[in-house]
Amino acid sequence: MTRTVLIRVVSLIPLVILASFITFSLLQLTETDPAIVRLGDDATEEAYEAFREQIGVNDPFIVQYGRWLGNAATGDLGESWNGPNQVSKLLKERLSVTFSLAFGGLFVAATIGTVFGIAAGVRAGRATDTVITAAASSGQALPNFWVGILLVAFVALPYDVFPATAYTGPTESVKDWLISITLPSIALGTAAAAAIARQTRAAFVRVLHEPYIRTALSVGLSRRSILYRTALRNASIPVVTSAATLFGTLLGGAVVVEAVFAYPGLGSLVLEAIQNGDLPIVLGFVFVAAVGVALVQLTLDITYTIIDPRTRVA
């Protein structure tokens, strides 16, 4: 088991490095001059050149990337072009908001999605199934930020329970934090819950057609036992597998939803950075997102080896 986990960890590292390399290369396409970003339009050419030299953008591409990666390994994501701020520090301040929402969304999606997915799966072919499947198909088409806007307009503003704009960090008050992430998490999680419900239901149906279900029936296992032991565990495998991709979608969605609620997350930092041409922040943002997805992937991989012993490395 330990070995399985280690192998997974080791295999994710090159993936994250490669993702950062791709982003780093893409950002080379920019025509933005970091010297102008920092020093404005009316500094001298010498000052510009000195700044470029100082931050190393005159070095060959591969040297620049090597330096960035080396620093990133120690948790240093470089300096902002716009001011003398550490990118990692800027990101860290905003990280909790975006990741709170993404995990909140995942929580909403996973609980609602699996409950309804199972409800549809165990009653496959009956009215409950038809209703849930129809609702899930529709729910999947709901854009998260629109749900957010509607929640603000029709829930947060008219009733004084949930804040429309004020984010509270978990370190200040856990209760207020939970209240402040409730609506955004619902906004984010709705479409994802629909996706999980559909997936769970489909996995169930597929499993119910497997020969081992027939065997279970023939040896006299009860319907209940077949559904909730045999089928549920087998059906959970594809759902767990795809949850990491879903988390990526939620992380991207969190950037938009936090804009709806005007929460100070990574989204507003990056939007500002794009306006200013502050590319190190954008690079740091993509890197953090990729690491976040990779860590969730890792957690799920481990969960997966617990559910499905076949995937364990001996």
Per-residue contact flags (x/-) with another protein for residues 242 to 261, judged by CB under 8 A:
---x--xx-xxx-xx--xx-
Work out whether 227 is an interface residue with another protein (CB under 8 A): yes
95 binds another protein (CB under 8 A): no
User: How far is residue 124 from each of residues 50, 200, 210, 233, 260, measured CA to CA in Å?
Assistant: 69, 11, 15, 17, 37
Assess 279 for contact with another protein (CB under 8 A). Answer: yes
Which residues ranging from 190 to 209 are in contact with another protein (CB under 8 A)? Answer: 205-209
CA atoms in the 13 A half-sphere facing the CB of 143:
7
Instruction: Name the minimum Å distance from CB 159 to another protein.
Output: 13
Task: Out of 72, 216, 243, 269, name the contact with another protein by CB under 8 A.
Answer: 216
Binding mask 124-143 for another protein (x = CB under 8 A): xx---x-------xx-xxxx
State yes or no: residue 179 binds another protein (CB under 8 A): no
Measure the CA–CA gap between 42 and 30, rounded to whole angstroms: 21
Question: Would you count residue 155 as binding another protein (CB under 8 A)?
Answer: no
Q: Three-class SS of residue 35?
A: helix
Is residue 9 a contact residue for another protein (CB under 8 A)?
A: no
Pairwise CA distance, residues 263 & 254, whole Å? 10
**Residue 270 engages another protein in binding (rule: CB under 8 A):** yes
First and final C-alpha spacing in the chain: 8
Decide: is 211 part of the binding site for another protein (CB under 8 A). Answer: yes
Does 7 engage in binding with another protein (CB under 8 A)?
no
Q: How far apart are CB 96 and another protein at their closest, in Å?
A: 18
Report the chain's C-alpha Rg in angstroms: 24
Residue from 18, 50, 63, 161 touching another protein (CB under 8 A): that is 18
Residues 6+ apart with CB under 8 A from 305: 1, 4, 5, 311, 312
Neighbours of 171 (CB within 10 A): 8
DSSP state for residue 273 in the 8-state scheme? H
Choose between 27 and 95: whose C-beta lies nearer to another protein.
Answer: 27
Q: How far is the CB of 27 from another protein (least distance, A)?
A: 5
Query: At residue 210, what are phi and psi to the nearest 5 degrees?
Result: -75, 145
Does residue 298 belong to the site contacting another protein (CB under 8 A)? Answer: no
Residues found in the chain: 314
For position 264 contacting another protein by CB under 8 A, the verdict is: no
> Is residue 97 at the binding interface for another protein, with CB under 8 A as the rule?
no
Of 178 and 308, the one with the shorter C-beta distance to another protein is 308
Contact call for residue 273 and another protein (CB under 8 A): yes
Does 308 engage in binding with another protein (CB under 8 A)?
yes
Q: Quick check: 23 binds another protein (CB under 8 A)?
A: yes
Residue 79 φ then ψ, to 5°? -110, 145
User: How many Cβ atoms sit within 10 Å of the Cβ of residue 37?
Assistant: 19
